[in-house]
Amino acid sequence: MIVMKFGGTSVGTAEAMKQVAAIIQNDTRKKKVVVLSACSGITNKLLYLAKKSAYIDEQERISLIEEIILFHSDIIISLGIESPNLDAQFTLITKEIYEFCEGISLLGECTPRSLDRLSSFGELLSTLIFSEYIKGIGLHAELVNALSFMKTDSTYTSAHIQYDSMVPQVQKIIIPKCEHNDIIITQGFIGSDEHDIVTTLGRGGSDFSAALIGMAIEAQEIIIWTDVSGIASADPKLISHAHTIEKMSFQEARLLSFFGAKVLHPETILPAIKHNIPVIVKNTFSPHDKGTTIVSDSSYSASKIISVTSKNAVGLVEFTHQTFSITQKMSIIGEFLDTLQCDLYAFGCLENTMYAVISLDRINFLSKAESLKDWDISYKDQSFIAAIGPNKVSDKYPDILSTFNQIICQHNSMPILLSGISEYALCAVIDQKSLHQTLISLHSELIEQ
Ligand code: ADP
Ligand code: ASP
Ligand code: MG
């Protein structure tokens, strides 16, 4: 069995869906689990609708909903699907969207739980349409709802997998269905908690869903189909001549996505590592390109910088406490890290001040945290940049380290160099305005040379 995951752009138009169907048909391996994202742009639209529904008037709300429904019905028409089941399910989902948004409007509040419920409709719609389409062209396929097996806790908008229930559920539900069908289609991104309330795995979470299913069914291979020909030496949207990396280690891929390469959800690689399942990243719109194969660490390691990556917006947060003493430090740091619950890119401590580089969306949350009420908190919008490469890069490769530091300092007046935070990466916190130029220089000096 293999797992094939198709991202938003791969299912974003009728033409793209036809292309996806052709890719599935052309793969001669018999049994496939196909994981789909929502059509591109739809998750953003649903989240916007959910938040707005709390305070816009009925007319505005209905027009936002109609835009989403029209988008999907246009795809259905272009694909020429005629199926009473599709019509019935589509009507049911649209009715639920209307009713749910009316509920948010009556309450005047949109909770994280509501955000998850509403954003789940994106994947429910894309999989419904695609499954009906491929059944219509004669493939043996069945749609299986991920809410029935992707078990999580109740941390809405970024739920954690409950492995003890998720793995047996996947095995119980998916494996028997594979015996009767060549293709199982399911949703990425969405799951449900112990009370069967809808949850989501965080933005970009469909990659993670695919890897989790792959792990549970012991797939031969997980193929992530996207809109670029694999993982590149930089985001091709920022550096157009970036080249595809044919082979990389789990560790490199993991760091790359953690430090900002949107091409893979940061947690995707973990389930694959645990079961040694190769992950291949390929281009839906250029399926013959080789793509990138991610393999276990022991069989491969780079000997130079392979990729530069960045996060455009991170917060450099300063926490100052009047009576912060060295003896209190350890317990306060522990408490602080517990409160944080977000990606922490760097952390430092000096006299009565702690510094942290975190994802920007947590700053509001932190300033309201009860346990930090005695702290003065200030923050600055910054960018984070990383060069990923050989193991022990900052110890064993002084030339690379010095070129990295030189370039960072050349383009930025007050950078924070974080060369020791990862064995495989050199990192820095820099000004947002010089990010692009710094990326270009790092790419040209450390990769193209
Ligand atoms: P999907 O919808 O298929 O999940 P995403 O938009 O989440 O696709 O991820 C693919 C995008 O990741 C690419 O279009 C590209 O702009 C971006 N990206 C960022 N860094 C890299 C990188 N190093 N290599 C390839 N793509 C990258
Ligand atoms: N549709 C979700 C998102 O846009 C999940 C995904 O595409 O992976 O974040
Ligand atoms: Mg993605």
Query: How remote is the CA of residue 292 from the centroid of ligand 3, in Å?
Result: 15
Predicted pLDDT of residue 328: 66
Residues lining ligand 1, CB < 6 A? Answer: 7-10, 37, 204, 226-228, 231-232, 234-237, 261-263, 307, 309
Query: How remote is the CA of residue 284 from the centroid of ligand 1, in Å?
Result: 12
Specify the residue with its C-alpha closest to ligand 1, atom 15: 235
Predicted pLDDT of residue 35: 98
Locus of tokens 């955000």: 115
Q: Whole-number mean pLDDT of the chain?
A: 91
Paired tokens of 381: 């919008």
Predicted pLDDT of residue 297: 64
Torsion of CA 418, 419, 420, 424, to 10 degrees: 120
Report CA Rg, the chain. Answer: 23
Q: What does the pLDDT look like over 377-433, one tens digit per residue?
A: 888 899 999 999 888 888 888 899 999 999 999 999 889 888 777 888 999 999 999
Q: Exposed, middle or buried by CB within 10 Å (0-12, 13-18, 19+), for 448?
A: exposed
Residues 6 or more apart from 67 whose CB is under 8 A from it? 45
- Ligand whose nearest atom lies closest to the CA of 20: 1
Residue 159 DSSP code: P
How big is the CA angle at 212 (ends 206 and 217), to the nearest 5 degrees? 130
- CA–chain centroid gap for 331, Å, is 32
Strand ranges of the sheet holding 425-430, from the earlier edge strand across to the other edge? 344-350, 353-359, 307-320, 376-388, 425-430, 416-417
How big is the CA angle at 162 (ends 217 and 99), to the nearest 5 degrees? 100
Query: How remote is the CA of residue 203 from the centroid of ligand 3, in Å?
Result: 8
425 touches 259 (CB < 8 A): yes
The residue-averaged pLDDT of 344-348 equals 79
Specify the residue with its C-alpha closest to ligand 1, atom 1: 7
Q: Is the CB of 124 under 6 A from ligand 2?
A: no
Q: Is the CB of 205 under 6 A from ligand 2?
A: yes
Q: Exposed, middle or buried by CB within 10 Å (0-12, 13-18, 19+), for 157?
A: middle
Q: Is the CB of 191 under 6 A from ligand 2?
A: no
Residues 107, 112, 114, 115, CA torsion sign: positive
Residues 6 or more apart from 270 whose CB is under 8 A from it? 211, 254
Complete domains list, the chain, with CATH: 2-227 (3.40.1160.10), 307-448 (3.30.2130.10)
Closest by CA to 415, choosing from 405, 425, 424, is 405
Residues 6 or more apart from 77 whose CB is under 8 A from it? none
Beta bridge partners of 85: none
Query: How remote is the CA of residue 262 from the centroid of ligand 3, in Å?
Result: 6
Specify the residue with its C-alpha closest to ligand 2, atom 4: 43
Predicted pLDDT of residue 197: 97
Predicted pLDDT of residue 379: 84
Predicted pLDDT of residue 393: 83
Alpha-carbon gap, residue 163 to 237, rounded angstroms: 36
Paired tokens of 230: 């694999």
24, containing H or E segment: helix 14-26
Query: How remote is the CA of residue 123 from the centroid of ligand 2, in Å?
Result: 8
Query: How remote is the CA of residue 9 from the centroid of ligand 1, in Å?
Result: 10
Predicted pLDDT of residue 359: 79
Predicted pLDDT of residue 377: 83
Q: What does the pLDDT look like over 255-297, one tens digit per residue?
A: 899 888 999 988 888 898 888 899 999 999 999 999 999 987 6
Measured from the CA of 206, which atom of ligand 1 is nearest?
A: 4
Closest by CA to 188, choosing from 130, 148, 154, 146, is 146
Query: Strand 221-226 vs strand 190-192: parallel, antiparallel, or unpaired?
Result: unpaired
Q: What separation, in Å, do the N-terminal and C-terminal C-alpha atoms of the chain show?
A: 41
| Residue 24, phi then psi, degrees to nearest 5 | -65, -45
Does 302 score more than 80 pLDDT?
Answer: no
Specify the residue with its C-alpha closest to ligand 1, atom 12: 263
Alpha-carbon gap, residue 294 to 92, rounded angstroms: 40
Paired tokens of 345: 């890119």
Predicted pLDDT of residue 329: 67
What DSSP assignment string belongs to 226-295? ESSSS-BSS-TTTSTT--B-SEEEHHHHHHHHHTT-TTS-TTTHHHHHHHT--EEEEETTSTTS--EEEE
Query: How remote is the CA of residue 12 from the centroid of ligand 2, in Å?
Result: 12
Global pTM value: 0.92
Alpha-carbon gap, residue 8 to 284, rounded angstroms: 11
Paired tokens of 222: 């997980």
Paired tokens of 240: 């157009």
Give the number of other Cβ atoms within 10 Å of residue 315's Cβ: 21
Query: How remote is the CA of residue 98 from the centroid of ligand 2, in Å?
Result: 22
Alpha-carbon gap, residue 232 to 212, rounded angstroms: 24
Measured from the CA of 38, which atom of ligand 2 is nearest?
A: 1
Q: How many residues can be counted in the chain?
A: 449
Predicted pLDDT of residue 233: 96
Q: Is the CB of 291 under 6 A from ligand 2?
A: no
